[in-house]
Amino acid sequence: HAHLLGIEGLHPLDITHILDLADRYADATRAGQRADPVLTGRTVVNLFFENSTRTMSSFEIAAKRLGADVINMPVANSSVKKGETLIDTAMTLNAMKPDVLVIRHSASGGAKLLSRKVDCAVINAGDGTHEHPTQGLLDVLTIRRNKGRVEGLKVVICGDIAHSRVARSTTMALHLLGAEVHLCGPKTLLPPGTDTWGAASATTDFDAALKGADVVMMLRLQMERMDGAFLPSRREYFRYFGLTQERLALALPDATVMHPGPMNRGIEIESAIADGPRSVITEQVEMGVAVREAVLDLLAGTRP
């Protein structure tokens, strides 16, 4: 079976192919058209070991729009609470013969491990601090639709880069399509080696990074992954890394503002910007469904 475990390893043409199909799904939904039921008779299992608002519901909606049967396993209610391991849970579900397993897990590499054990397509919906490929794809699709291109754009991603699977997947996808990605955050939250993701720079100077930016993407502080590591106060963080109207004025006049969610208003982004005319945050959610329709179609669809 083919899987989608990460952006790493994809060719730019693979990404363009997925985005082109997602574009068609997004346009059809906007036009009120029903999608072809290319997943009729297929079973999609959503196996989420970590919380999710957007990703789980959009995989469910995408799969249902294409005619699949969908089962959601929010693991809080499952036998994992009784001590069953990831692999035993996966083998149990595998025995029920699903066609696609969508997995979110706190362990980096969790989706890959699962893909080696089961007889169906596996989609990584976020593995620890490693990758969140459908988020990377929906971010690039949102940018491509708003800017008309990806190549040559300056994109700034600011926040908790160290714990962000979104930062890695989105940076890789943007780099593969020719964008220039600058990462920004407090020194303690900027991991080494972001050049291997394709990032052009990693800096603590948000104001300098913003100059000439076409796109500004803000990330939340992932407190749940910090293990008591040193953190600035919220007020101090906002002062240096919060996106305010004043700061946004340093970017290009038509700069697009993004956030993968969940947002912490007043910590990494001013509410007026999140809800303002430059924000495409809700469009990201909309494109999330379209990208997941495209990925499900390509991995498990009945199209010839």
List residues forming the annotated binding site for L-aspartate: 82, 165, 220
Q: At what angle do helices 54-65 and 281-300 cross, to 10 degrees?
A: 50
Reference 296, options 26, 15, 28, 59; nearest CA is 59
Q: Between 52 and 203, whose beta carbon lies closer to ligand CP?
A: 52
Determine the longest span between alpha carbons in the chain, in angstroms.
Answer: 56
Distance of alpha carbon 283 from the chain centroid = 13
Reference 46, options 69, 20, 19, 65; nearest CA is 69
106 lies in the binding site for ligand CP (CB under 6 A): no
Q: Which range in 86-94, 244-252, 258-266, 271-279 contacts ligand CP by CB under 6 A?
A: 258-266
Dist CA 29 CA 34 (whole Å): 7
Question: Smallest distance from the beta carbon of 105 to ligand CP, in angstroms?
Answer: 13
Question: Smallest distance from the beta carbon of 52 to ligand CP, in angstroms?
Answer: 3
170 lies in the binding site for ligand CP (CB under 6 A): no
Please enumerate, by residue number, every residue annotated as part of a binding site: 54-55, 82, 104, 132, 135, 165, 220, 261-262
The site map against ligand CP for 213-252 (x = CB under 6 A) is ----------------------------------------
| Dihedral sign computed on CA atoms, order 93, 94, 99, 101 | positive
72 lies in the binding site for ligand CP (CB under 6 A): no
Question: By Cβ distance, which residue is nearest to ligand CP?
Answer: 55
What residue type is 185 in one-letter code?
G
Q: Between 43 and 135, whose beta carbon lies closer to ligand CP?
A: 135
Q: What DSSP state is assigned to residue 194?
A: G
Residue 278 tokens read as 């430059």
Q: List residues near ligand CP by CB under 6 A.
A: 52-55, 126, 132, 135, 260-262
